[in-house]
Amino acid sequence: MEGDLGVATADAVWSERDTTPSRIEEALRDLLRERHAEDEASVPARVLNLVVVVDAEWSGEIANRLRGVGRYHASRTIVCAVERGRTTLDASASIAVDADHDPHAPAPMREFVMVKVGPRHLDHLDRIVDPLVVTDLATVLWSPHGHPEAVDSLLGLAQVVLLDSLDEPDVGEALQRARALTGSAYVVDLAWLRSTPWRERVAATFDPVNLRPDLRMISSVTVRHHPDSGAAALLLVGWLASRLEWDTGALHARDGVVSGKLHARRQDVAVRLEPVPQMRTIGLAGLELETASGRWLRLDRGPGGLRAHYRHKRGVDREWTILGASRGEPGILGEGIRQALLRDHTYAPALACAETMAP
């Protein structure tokens, strides 16, 4: 993973064994100064810091995911790779510019730092990372392999925590952890982002003024999902519950299916979350909504987008494909980094409702 900057080309590299945070920071300044002296068009990119805490043996997987974020690479990426038994710090740093940058325009330089740490460093990881982040920039913290002690240590430095509620085997604990973190930082949950095209399509369906009253008449919701994506399904229902002011309570699980009733102002809402064992990629597979007025909407994941089927008791029956609606898994991390610069005020209420529904 060292020096891996996706589509960028490394121009300057430094490494040192048994080093210190101050030495790493000094090396970065020297690399930037040298690169700019060689080419005045090379200027540091200054948008955000990304701090990643990973298990060293799985760093290759994380490198592949970072490679896929496209134009959403952080300005400075700091990877803390945790190795068992390590007591000293080894580090490397590199600076790169996009391989296809315009030779007549400024060439943004992105910096990549790899610090090999041991378990003993995690409780005070902030002391190692603090000198390495670019001040006055938003800092995003991502710890895909757990290490809650490292996250807690770094919360004072980070304004944004990137997480994936699907990483936790227990859905209730995952949602509880996410909600606890919202008290300390802005949380970007990849499980939430996987429901974005589904939420957009539901909102668009009921956007016409004459259909908005039917939102208050929803009588049943069925979500089909990958067996490991229960959190994404709960967050989607949590979004509906929070926006439509449904009363929520714990749902019940039986043979993998989660079901129960929520309470709207006019009627109960039957909720059913069904895992799809044959589904290959994580995320949502389908959504069905039914209203007391006789409207029925079904969305299914398919090649190139979502397949929509709409029916009404007056005889209307239509099917069509929403091209490009499904963003796909490869780009979800890049979308998460992009969302770090935005603010989605609907996530926290949806998360609160989803937490109460977790069986």
Amino acid identity of residue 262, one-letter, is L
Is residue 292's pLDDT more than 50? yes
Query: Do the beta carbons of residue 77 and residue 339 sit within 8 Å?
Result: no
Is residue 352's pLDDT more than 60? yes
In this prediction, residue 11 has a pLDDT band, given cuts at 50, 70 and 90, of: low
Average pLDDT over every residue of 97-123: 86
Annotated domain spans of the chain: 8-158, 196-357
Distance between CA 163 and CA 49 in Å, rounded? 16
Helix (H) or strand (E) holding 243: helix 230-244
Is residue 2's pLDDT more than 60? no
**Looking at domain 196-357, what is its CATH homologous superfamily?**
Dihydrodipicolinate Reductase; domain 2 (3.30.360.10)
Average pLDDT over every residue of 92-110: 81
The model's pTM: 0.90
Helix (H) or strand (E) holding 141: strand 138-142
Where are any strands of DSSP class E within 216-354?
218-225, 252-254, 257-263, 268-275, 284-291, 296-302, 305-311, 317-323
169 or 224: which leads in pLDDT: 224
